[in-house]
Structure 1
Amino acid sequence: MMTLRPMVVLPPLIFAALAVLFYWGMGRDDPNALPSTREGGPVPGLTLTAFDGATPFTRDDLASGEVVLVNFWASWCGPCRAEHPQLVAMAEEGIPIYGINYKDEPAKARNFLDELGDPYDRLAADPNGRTGLDWGLYGVPETFVIAGDGTVIKRFAGPITEGILEAIIRPAIAKAEAHQ
């Protein structure tokens, strides 16, 4: 009878255990969904500066009775460029979008909007990232759906694609409208 040595058996056992662990982990909730402690609560504070002559906004503006999207973006962000056509399309539909330019150079941010179009009803800058910290930002782009009473209904991290718009953003807007 042949005996197996531990060094022959151990690597395949470790591999099998890791494979089972990874398979189990993949079957869990959406791995791209980042938890947000802001959903269901009031909008956090805003520490913003003016953006190149654009109409800024305050926390009170986010609780003025209208559902709005708050979109954090930057000119240096590739995914922001990828999502921009969706923002422009939503703005053309009449969906109000408030933009926060995040840790960006003002001239580069203005060139970005001049090149791709400006979908923002109101726009401000977060040059030091303070508002991003207060809002729990993971990075840009991130979009928040805000109910008319200033409640954060949804936070979406990442670029808004056509599929995300239909599956996540529009239902969140409908929920925000019903929340009022």
Structure 2
Amino acid sequence: MSRFKLFIPLIVFAVLGLFFWKGLSLDPTRMPSALIDKSMPEFQLPIVKDAQRRVTVEDLKGQPSLLNVWATWCVACKVEHPYLNKLAKQGVMIFGVNYKDDTKSAQEWLAKLGDPYAFSVVDADGRLGIDLGVFGAPETYVLDREGVIRYKHVGVVDERVWQEIIQPIMQRL
């Protein structure tokens, strides 16, 4: 029995090694969402550019679109932003969720870096983010014309992500 105790650390090390090896093979941008093929959560929030104007999930309906979760404190969002501007100029409908951010900073960001959003809602307390299952910014959701979530992308949307993943989904909608 005492000889068996000598092998316990080796067995524990081997089991941990298998878990770490498996973890290395996972795609960090693949984040499952319980909301795929479900309607957008209900909300009524002000928009960044005009706090007096409130919008709801009904304002997202009408055509396939992207819903982009962003913030001024998010470094990756700054990397992604020029590409979102490019997509908007190409006619892609993009809505924004300004997540747990200062509205004044968000207004300045959009004035300085361009505004790709049809509108961007203020989610100061993160409640909409919680309802969406947001892990952090940036995250982008593909919505169909009825406001049903068809895909969730965690991380920066760039040319490769757009061409290989998101654009084919939107073309099928």
Q: 1:56 to 1:164 in 2, by over 3 A?
A: farther
1:170 to 163, 167, 170: 167
Q: 1:21 to 1:51 in 2, by over 3 A?
A: closer
Partner of residue 117, structure 1: 114
2:134 to 134, 137, 143: 137
Correspondence list, 1:3-82, <5 A: 14-27=12-25, 29-53=26-50, 57-64=55-62, 66-82=63-79
Distance 2:145 2:42 in 1: 16
Which letter maps to 1:39? I
Distance 2:38 2:59 in 1: 16
Distance 1:124 1:164 in 2: 24
> Deviation per CA, 1:71-114, whole angstroms, max 9, x where unpaired?
11111111110110110111011001011211211221111112
RMSD after superposition: 2.4
Which letter maps to 2:90? E
1:146 to 143, 147, 150: 143
Q: 1:171 to 1:114 in 2, by over 3 A?
A: same
Distance 1:56 1:92 in 2: 25
Between Structure 1 and Structure 2, how many residues are aligned? 171
Maintained 8 Å contact 1:43/1:59 = yes
Structure showing greater Rg: 1
TM-score, normalised to structure 1, is: 0.82
User: Does residue 105 of structure 1 match 2:126?
Assistant: no
In the alignment, structure 2 segments of 5+ residues that lack a partner are none
Maintained 8 Å contact 2:47/2:55 = no
Q: 1:96 to 1:57 in 2, by over 3 A?
A: farther
> Deviation per CA, 1:128-167, whole angstroms, max 9, x where unpaired?
2111112111111111110002211111122212222222
Maintained 8 Å contact 1:74/1:140 = yes
Q: Secondary structure, in 3 states, of the residue corresponding to 2:20? A: helix
Distance 1:25 1:78 in 2: 25
In the alignment, structure 1 segments of 5+ residues that lack a partner are none
Maintained 8 Å contact 1:47/1:126 = no
**What fraction of aligned residue pairs are identical, expressed as a percent?**
35
The Cα of 1:171 is off from its aligned counterpart by 2.1
Which letter maps to 2:75? G
User: Does residue 86 of structure 1 match 2:83?
Assistant: yes
Distance 1:89 1:13 in 2: 53
TM-score, normalised to structure 2, is: 0.85
Distance 1:144 1:63 in 2: 14
Distance 1:128 1:12 in 2: 47
